[in-house]
Structure 1
Amino acid sequence: MKYERKTKEVKVILGLGNPGRHYYNNRHNFGLMIIDKIADRWGMDFTSTRGSFVYVYSQDASRSPKSLNYEVYFCKPLCYMNNSGVAAKQILKFFGCSPLNLLIVYDDIDLPLGKIRFRRKGSDGGHKGIKSIINFLETIEFPRLRLGIGPQDEGVPSEEFVLSDFRKCELSTLNEVIDLSISSIIDFVNKDILFVMNKYNRINLSLE
């Protein structure tokens, strides 16, 4: 699959989740939640729609950092999690960027809440949203930011657990993870995937 490149390099941040208020606070929507928090803090509104996604441009923000080294777009899918690849493929075509500059932000049941982990590439790890993206982009080589939502409740099927909301007792850690994730995304934009892997993959807020 070939992708057109723009003159100025672009980085795109895509947060995965299911559309609709019913799903918003679900663990499965953690990636989408991060994108919304960035938009809220930077004074950005998702008013631009293109096919299966909505997006904002960082330079249009009223409170965004002035030191971003790339053109940065933040995106949310309008399709359901299992069809995330539809949005990802349209995003690469629309912005003319490489999969290597597309950061996927999503929940990971295998990591505890309080832990985040960057990866350069890899399999879907059982995550259906990532599986869809791999299928549509026909590559496993795109960076990811995995957000821990575990541990899974004993006796609760994974499909049910990921669609549950975060508990009140988890909100303090959740807010810390949101702050950490936003900082890490800024570093990803200004640096590279190896830098953020080395800086953030060892942090575990659940132990603090």
Structure 2
Amino acid sequence: MQGGLTVAGMDLERAAGDPWGRGFLVAGLGNYGLRGTRHSVGMAILNHLASKLSVADQWRKDRRCCADVALATLGETELVLMKPRRLMNINGLSVLGAVEAYGLDIENIYLVHDDLDKPLGKVALKLGGSARGHNGVRSCINSLHSDSMVRLRVGIGRPAGDTAVDRYVLGMFTSAEQELLPQVFDQAVQMLLEHIQQDSCQSRGAPRPPASAPLLGEDT
């Protein structure tokens, strides 16, 4: 495995009855059933992450959180990968369900989602803050009563001309955009894994940065 990662799939039923505490949840936000759209790019990145962690064939439906879930480890760190089986504006219900089902800390949640304010190819991590108009993130904040989750913001750019934003985000990537996606997915997954490893080490000793602080790849 590249980068010296130690990864293994785990049994969903075994883990379900055993609160993880220090585990991490990585949730790919999107609209269930609308695969390949710009608004669901977070889910596509979760698929790429699962492949990187050798658990692409481990996705299972977890009715407790109404989501597809795959379990993995990164070194000594336990990961819950999740794709909500709900529409974007109620993704937070699935995230909350996963937190309760797996006994996770809200501070150990990573939300992967599209970002209109960044061009395609720009990926940035940020800790906490407002939803910035993103309905999926807003749903998570409202459901968890917290805005301290780490966000991986994946740029999709804004529509050109008179194209409505809702039509644009629910549309498919163009052929030219699709050529850029493999590089974007690789960058996003690498950024996630590096930061989770860093965050896992900090949880054992050093404090985390304050809420809303810029992190790797974030504009300053």
TM-score range, shorter chain: 0.7 to 0.9
2:60 is aligned, of 47, 51, 61, to 47
Q: Map Cα deviations across residues 62-112 of structure 1 (whole Å, 9 max, x no partner).
A: xxxxx5341111011011101011101101111111111010000011110
Q: Which 5+ residue runs of structure 1 have no aligned equivalent?
A: 60-66, 203-208
Q: Map Cα deviations across residues 101-154 of structure 1 (whole Å, 9 max, x no partner).
A: 010000011110010111110111111111111111111111110000003222
2:92 is aligned, of 81, 85, 95, to 85
One-letter amino acid of the counterpart of residue 19, structure 1 = Y
- Alignment root-mean-square deviation, CA: 2.1
One-letter amino acid of the counterpart of residue 200, structure 1 = G
Tell me what 1:33 maps to.
44
Distance 1:12 1:118 in 2: 15
Residues 130/8 of structure 1: CA separation in 2 closer, same or farther (3 Å cut): closer
1:58 is aligned, of 41, 62, 72, to 72
Instruction: State the 1:13 CA deviation.
Output: 0.3
Identical pairs, percent: 27
Instruction: State the 1:198 CA deviation.
Output: 4.5
Whether 1:73 aligns to 2:80 is yes
Q: Which stretch of the first structure deviates more once superposed, 173-182 or 33-42?
A: 33-42
One-letter amino acid of the counterpart of residue 25, structure 2 = V
Point out the structure with the larger helix share: 1
Whether 1:172 aligns to 2:179 is yes
One-letter amino acid of the counterpart of residue 63, structure 2 = R
Q: Map Cα deviations across residues 158-205 of structure 1 (whole Å, 9 max, x no partner).
A: 1111001111111222111100011111112201276xx544336xxx
Q: Secondary structure at the match of 1:72?
A: strand
Distance 1:98 1:151 in 2: 34
One-letter amino acid of the counterpart of residue 166, structure 2 = E
Tell me what 1:200 maps to.
217
One-letter amino acid of the counterpart of residue 29, structure 2 = L
Would the aligned equivalents of 2:46 and 2:83 in 1 still touch at CA under 8 Å? yes
Q: Which 5+ residue runs of structure 2 have no aligned equivalent?
A: 1-17, 200-207
Distance 1:200 1:37 in 2: 19
Would the aligned equivalents of 1:68 and 1:189 in 2 still touch at CA under 8 Å? no
> Counterparts in 2 of 1:99-178, with a 5 A limit?
99-178=106-185
Q: Secondary structure at the match of 2:89?
A: helix
